C-alpha cells in the first residue's frame, strides 16, 4: 500500500471556524473539533491530517506580524514531518498573510495553502467545506513523488492563486479573491487542473525562514484635493521608514512643485517611497505620462504590478533583513517571491 501523505492543518481563526452567539448575534470562535465534526468527508481522505489550533482563535482583523512569525516557526518545526500545510485564516487579511509568508519562507518544496470561507462551516450554504477539502487535497498531492505546488497560495471558490498576487475584492460573494495580474495556479472541477507553466519551481536550496520584520511603514493614498498638510504629516513622521504611495492609474500623481518638494524632502531624509497603483489591475509605468515622469527622477521606486498587500509586506521584510537603503531599493524592483512581473 502506498504511503499516506500527511498535511498539517493550522487553524488560526476566521469565519470558517465561527458560530453565532445566541445571546449577541455576533460570530465567535468555537472549538476546532467541531469544525472537523462538520466535515465528515475528511475521514474518507487517504491523507493523514495533523491539527494545530491557535488558542484563542484570532479574528483576521487582529492579524499582526508577530502571528506571521509564529506561523513561520510552526511550519519550520514541522517541515520534515509533513507533505504540505493548510492554514485556516480569516479572509479579510488573508492576502496580507499570504504575501508576508511568501517572503519569509525561503526555498519551499512543499505547498503552504491558506483558505477560509465567507460563511461559517456549520451553516447550510457554507463555502467552507469545499474550500477546506480541496485545499487539503492540493496540499497532499504529488506528481512523481514530488509536490506539485511549491509556494504560498490562497485557495478560494474553486481556484488556487499565488498568495502574493491576490487581494480580497468582495465581502459578499464566495469568489472573494482576485489575482488580476497573474493567472490562477489551478482550477478545481471534476478534476483539479494545474497551470504548470505558471507554477513556482521547487527550490534546490535548503528550506529556511527569515522572521525579522520591520513594520515602520505607511500607506499614503492620493485623492483629488488631498491636503498637503496631511501628506507632510505622513512623510515627516520620524518613526516611518518607508511609504507605499498609492497613485492614480499607471503611477500618476500631482506634478505641482509643492507636492514634488514634499516627496523630495522625504527621500532626502532617508525615506523609501514605493509607487503602487490604486487600480485593481495593471501596472505602474513611471514616465508614461507627464504626471509621473518626475517621480522616477527624484528617486521614487516603481512598484510595477505588485499588489498593495504584497508591497506593504515586502517593505516590512526588506527593512527587517537589510540595513542598506540602496540594497532595499534595488530589491523592491526585483521579483523575489513571484510578487511582480519584471
Q: Tell me which residues are annotated as active site.
A: 15
> What is the distance between the alpha carbons of residues 276 and 187, in angstroms, rounded to a whole number?
29
In what helix (H) or strand (E) does residue 242 lie, and over which residues does it extend?
strand 242-247
Q: Going by C-beta distance under 8 Å and a sequence separation of 6 or more, which residues neighbour residue 286?
A: 251, 275, 292, 293, 295, 296, 300, 302
Q: Which three cell numbers stand for residue 61?
A: 482583523
Calpha distance 87→153 (Å, rounded): 10
Q: Helix or strand or coil: residue 223?
A: coil
Residues 149 and 294: beta-carbon distance below 8 Å = no
DSSP, collapsed to helix, strand or coil, labels residue 211 as coil
C-alpha cell at 339: 510578487
Q: Please spell the DSSP secondary structure of 112-149, one letter per residue.
A: EEEE--SS-TTSTT-SHHHHHHHHHHHHH-EETTEES-
Collapsing DSSP to helix, strand or coil, 191 comes out as coil
Task: Identify the H or E element spanning 290.
Answer: helix 290-297
Amino acid at each position: 500500500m502506498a504511503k499516506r501523505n500527511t498535511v498539517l492543518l493550522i487553524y488560526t481563526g476566521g469565519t470558517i471556524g465561527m458560530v453565532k452567539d445566541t445571546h449577541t448575534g455576533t460570530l465567535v470562535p468555537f472549538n476546532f473539533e467541531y469544525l472537523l465534526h462538520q466535515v465528515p468527508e475528511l475521514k474518507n481522505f487517504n491523507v493523514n491530517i495533523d491539527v494545530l489550533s491557535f488558542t484563542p482563535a484570532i479574528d483576521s482583523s487582529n492579524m499582526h506580524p508577530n502571528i506571521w512569525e509564529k506561523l513561520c516557526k510552526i511550519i519550520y518545526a514541522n517541515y520534515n514531518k509533513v507533505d504540505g500545510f493548510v492554514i485556516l485564516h480569516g479572509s479579510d487579511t488573508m492576502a496580507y498573510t499570504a504575501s508576508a509568508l511568501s517572503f519569509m519562507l525561503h526555498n519551499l518544496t512543499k505547498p503552504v495553502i491558506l483558505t477560509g470561507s465567507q460563511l461559517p462551516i456549520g451553516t447550510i450554504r457554507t463555502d467552507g467545506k469545499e474550500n477546506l477539502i480541496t485545499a487539503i487535497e492540493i496540499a497532499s498531492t504529488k506528481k512523481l513523488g514530488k509536490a506539485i505546488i511549491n509556494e504560498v497560495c490562497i485557495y478560494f471558490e474553486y481556484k488556487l492563486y499565488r498568495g502574493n498576487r491576490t487581494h480580497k475584492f468582495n465581502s459578499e460573494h464566495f469568489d472573494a479573491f482576485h489575482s488580476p495580474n497573474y493567472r490562477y495556479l489551478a482550477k478545481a472541477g471534476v478534476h483539479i487542473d494545474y497551470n504548470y507553466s505558471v507554477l513556482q519551481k521547487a527550490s534546490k536550496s535548503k528550506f529556511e525562514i527569515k522572521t525579522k520584520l520591520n513594520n515602520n511603514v505607511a500607506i499614503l493614498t492620493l485623492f483629488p484635493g488631498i491636503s498637503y498638510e496631511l501628506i507632510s504629516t505622513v512623510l515627516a513622521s520620524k518613526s516611518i521608514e518607508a511609504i507605499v504611495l498609492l497613485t492614480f492609474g499607471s503611477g500618476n500623481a500631482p506634478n505641482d512643485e509643492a507636492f514634488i518638494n514634499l516627496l523630495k524632502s522625504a527621500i532626502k531624509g532617508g525615506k523609501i517611497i514605493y509607487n503602487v497603483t490604486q487600480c485593481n489591475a495593471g501596472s505602474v509605468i513611471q514616465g508614461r505620462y507627464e504626471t509621473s515622469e518626475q517621480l522616477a527622477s527624484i528617486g521614487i521606486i516603481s512598484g510595477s504590478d505588485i499588489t498593495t498587500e504584497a508591497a506593504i509586506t515586502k517593505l516590512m521584510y526588506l527593512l527587517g533583513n537589510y540595513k542598506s537603503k540602496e540594497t532595499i531599493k534595488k530589491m523592491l524592483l526585483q521579483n523575489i517571491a513571484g510578487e511582480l512581473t519584471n
